[in-house]
């Protein structure tokens, strides 16, 4: 164990990232100082927001510098500890990025319980699950009998959104790409209806699946789905906006007509609420409640989750590129598989 391989941003992508935008670098494994731990990274989370970090367009977070290690949430095993309360063998959630080893301050990590699989800390019990939970608790507020629509619905946010909506008594309509995914929405995640956004009559199918209109549209893709949802929204509908994966690779404003005036008009005539959010806004207020409620839901099967695990850090760039294209099926996690020396 002498070398740490990490993946850095080699260049800012223009449009869709390519493997050439990433570069592998190898350094000595660092040593922890007092109050720190050395982690062997077991799992790396890959999430759509990382596309934003590769760009230097103004956003809610600093971009990754060119030459810097790609950021990301990780589950690591403590292999050396100079911090009280963290022992060798403990597993922690950290934000160590795309690499095999990392030194972290003890206060920057969260020790994980052993009662749920480690990788769930990156998915249903981590940032994606909390995004779903906070977006519904604070903005979407699905009520019994209402209809909720979510796209990318087999992804870790979308699947959780639909299942929470069901737990709150609402009807859940999921949108996904292809028959395997739509089947999983019905059979695995318990959605009331599932629609393939690739179908030529997608908008018509969505209308038929929402006979009472749409009360909550959880926006995590952008683009064509929003356009199909818009005419179906009910008065006082809520649109939490947590991501726009369909737009992340866009390089210019799409061709007209300009749909913005019509959108704002719908906001007016239907008294819509459109609210963008980043989950960290609600962490202090809601995280303990989320962990308690979601752990219970995961244990009793109210909320199910699916993971898409790829093997080895070297697989990360291609897996991430596929994530932006929707080729994964479930929460995308890299089993980092550090080479021990």
Residues that bind a second copy (CB under 8 A): 52, 58-60, 219, 222-223, 226, 235, 241-244, 247, 250, 252-278, 281
Closest separation in Å from C-beta 247 to a second copy: 5
Asked whether 295 and 121 are in contact (CB, 8 A), the reply is: no
**Residue 117 or 213 having the CB closest to a second copy:** 213
Q: What is the C-alpha to C-alpha distance for residues 185 and 173, in angstroms, rounded to an integer?
A: 9
Cis peptide before 257 (omega within 30 of 0): yes
Asked whether 323 and 48 are in contact (CB, 8 A), the reply is: yes
Residue 306 CB neighbour total at 10 angstroms: 18
Q: What is the C-alpha to C-alpha distance for residues 99 and 41, in angstroms, rounded to an integer?
A: 7
Closest separation in Å from C-beta 142 to a second copy: 18
Closest separation in Å from C-beta 56 to a second copy: 13
Closest separation in Å from C-beta 58 to a second copy: 7
Element (H, E) at 206: helix 202-209
Burial class (CB in 10 A: 0-12, 13-18, 19+), 223: middle
Asked whether 218 and 148 are in contact (CB, 8 A), the reply is: yes
Please spell the DSSP secondary structure of 134-152, one letter per residue.
HHIIIII---TT-EEEESS
Closest separation in Å from C-beta 284 to a second copy: 15
**Residue 84 or 268 having the CB closest to a second copy:** 268
Q: How many CA atoms lie within 13 A of 50 on its CB side?
A: 28
Closest separation in Å from C-beta 270 to a second copy: 7
Question: In 3D, which of 123, 131, 98, 124 has the Cα closest to residue 17?
Answer: 98
Closest separation in Å from C-beta 24 to a second copy: 30
Closest separation in Å from C-beta 249 to a second copy: 12
Residue 178 CB neighbour total at 10 angstroms: 14
**Residue 95 or 277 having the CB closest to a second copy:** 277
Q: What is the C-alpha to C-alpha distance for residues 175 and 202, in angstroms, rounded to an integer?
A: 10
**Residue 273 or 314 having the CB closest to a second copy:** 273
Q: Give the N- to C-terminal CA distance of the chain in Å, as an integer.
A: 4
Q: What is the C-alpha to C-alpha distance for residues 77 and 16, in angstroms, rounded to an integer?
A: 33
**Residue 48 or 326 having the CB closest to a second copy:** 48
**Residue 280 or 304 having the CB closest to a second copy:** 280
**Residue 111 or 227 having the CB closest to a second copy:** 227
**Residue 56 or 113 having the CB closest to a second copy:** 56
């Amino acid at each position: 164990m002498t070398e740490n391989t990490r993946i850095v941003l080699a260049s800012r992508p223009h449009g869709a990232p390519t493997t050439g935008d990433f570069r592998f670098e190898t350094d000595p494994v660092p040593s922890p100082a007092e109050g720190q731990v050395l982690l062997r990274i077991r799992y790396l989370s890959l999430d759509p927001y990382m596309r934003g970090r590769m760009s230097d367009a103004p956003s809610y977070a600093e971009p990754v510098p060119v030459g810097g290690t790609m950021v990301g949430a990780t589950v690591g095993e403590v292999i050396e500890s100079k911090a009280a309360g963290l022992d060798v063998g403990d597993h922690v959630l950290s934000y160590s990025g795309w690499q095999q080893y990392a030194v972290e301050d003890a206060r920057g990590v969260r020790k994980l319980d052993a009662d749920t699989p480690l990788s769930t800390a990156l998915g249903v019990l981590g940032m994606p699950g909390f995004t779903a939970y906070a977006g519904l608790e604070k903005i979407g507020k699905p009520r019994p009998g209402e209809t909720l629509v979510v796209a990318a619905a087999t992804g870790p946010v979308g699947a959780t959104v639909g299942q929470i909506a069901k737990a709150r008594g609402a009807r859940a309509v999921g949108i996904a790409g292809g028959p395997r995914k739509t089947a999983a929405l019905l059979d695995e995640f318990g959605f009331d209806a599932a629609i393939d956004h690739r179908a030529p009559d997608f908008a018509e199918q969505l209308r038929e699946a929402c006979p009472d209109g749409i009360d909550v549209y959880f926006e995590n893709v952008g683009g064509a789905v929003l356009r199909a949802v818009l005419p179906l929204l009910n008065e006082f509908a809520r649109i939490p906006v947590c991501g726009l994966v369909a737009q992340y690779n866009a390089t210019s404003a799409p061709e007209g007509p300009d749909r913005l005036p019509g959108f704002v008009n719908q906001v007016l005539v239907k008294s819509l609420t459109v609210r963008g959010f980043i989950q960290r806004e609600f962490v202090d207020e809601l995280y303990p409640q989320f962990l308690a409620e979601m752990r219970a839901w995961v244990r009793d099967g109210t909320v199910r989750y699916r993971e898409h695990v790829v093997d080895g850090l070297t697989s990360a760039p291609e897996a991430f590129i596929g994530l932006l294209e929707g080729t994964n099926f479930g929460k995308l996690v890299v089993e980092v598989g550090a080479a021990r020396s």
